[in-house]
A and B are shown apart, each in its own frame.
Chain A
Amino acid sequence: MNKDLAKNLAPGHSACAGCAFPSIVRTILGEATTPVVISNATGCLEVTSTIYPYTAWNVPYIHSAFENAAATISGVERAYLAMRKKGKIKKKIKFVAFGGDGGTYDIGLQALSGALERGHNFLYVVYDNGGYMNTGNQRSSATPYGAGTETTPVGDESFGKVEMRKNLMGIVAAHNIPYAAQANIANLADLKMKAKKALAVDGPSFLTVFSPCTNNWKFPTSQYVAIAKLATETNFWPLYEIENGKYKLSWEPKTIKPVTEFLKTQGRFKHLFLPKNKLILGKIQKIVNDEFARIASLCGL
């Protein structure tokens, strides 16, 4: 066991072999310079790291429900402020909330919006695996167009999800918070830099991190880093940050790979390579191109 890495989230959790979020959590918390308090939405991270009577968390951790990770951490933060006023706590503490895309894009959205608007001193991290993976791959509003899931099954009449992803970064940016960024676990230095910036902010900050799911995206357990890397190289998952309302692109691939390079690594997109779904592939490429062009124009490129 690597003691340095395990100081916040220890091994012994029951996340699938080859899961991405333990590394994401460790990388982000590793950048913290003050003690942290964690709140967690229901999801893979919560159910795998806190199986009674064991907890993999070495830091104070609270979970209350699916929809209110942000509301819970708001309460903890306000209690801390009150106790500090009374002189019961002296040290500086940073508050971090973790949620999956289900607990953030869909179910926890209003709690998140409220906490961002009230301006609590916390960092919200969403690990985006594009669906409700804990309960067996139901679609969420973060599931990409064309992906086959339990609730958007693939068949003669259907090619998977017909809606596009929700633009959560846009929603978060609309709250005029000091710092929000989109990162990827494969670009470790970039993720570390963003985590450091986000944790240093005095006020709300937000991170979206790409988290491949070996079980429900249907790829071999050894591939999560390679797939995460491809997502950024094909512009499927551009890396950018929004600092005080200003967009800034963090990394731009020199040669952009076609999005099919990313899609063909996963079983959830397998059906798109059938001849009858050729048009859908073209549409996905167009969605990716348009989305990147939109972000690039916001960045002033």
Chain B
Amino acid sequence: MEKGAIIKHDIKKSPRTGSWRYMKPEVDKDKCIGCATCVPFCPDACIEMKKHKNDKRDKADIDYEFCKGCGVCAQICPVRAIIMKKN
């Protein structure tokens, strides 16, 4: 029994929702302009801006552990740098 039935957030206990995925978003890092438009719209907070090679701007990087493959990022990318591929 947990006292007071309080559950603490623990990411280790979380279901790995990446297994839901049917289509996989892939970022074309050369095409990505680093605008970060996709970041706030990802329902699973999977997109992070990370350093890529020697590029000046950080590029979008997707965490496939939680990505459900909805394709929102690919749809709103202004330069179509994210492409949905079969998982």
Contact = CB atoms under 8 A, between A and B. Distances in A.
A225 B14 contact: no
B45 A26 contact: yes
A21 to B, nearest CB: 8
Given A1-B65, A1-B66, A11-B66, A22 B45 contact: yes
A14 interface: yes
Given A6-B45, A27-B40, A55-B9, A14 B72 contact: no
> Could you tell me the dominant secondary structure of chain B's interface residues?
loop
B27 interface: no
Contacts of B16: 12
B17 A12 contact: yes
B11 interface: yes
A2 B10 CA distance: 16
B70 interface: yes
A256 interface: no
Counting chain B residues whose Cβ lies within 8 A of the other chain, the interface size class is 20 to 34
B47 interface: yes
Contacts of A34: none
B43 A1 contact: no
A288 B77 CA distance: 30
B86 interface: no
10 contacts: A12-B11, A12-B16, A15-B43, A17-B68, A18-B43, A22-B43, A52-B7, A222-B75, A225-B41, A226-B75
Interface of A: 1-3, 5-6, 9-15, 17-23, 26-27, 50-58, 185, 188, 214, 220-226
Interface of B: 7-11, 13-17, 20-21, 39-48, 63, 65-66, 68-72, 74-76, 84
- 8 closest residue pairs by CB, A with B: A12-B14, A222-B71, A18-B70, A17-B68, A17-B70, A5-B45, A11-B66, A221-B70
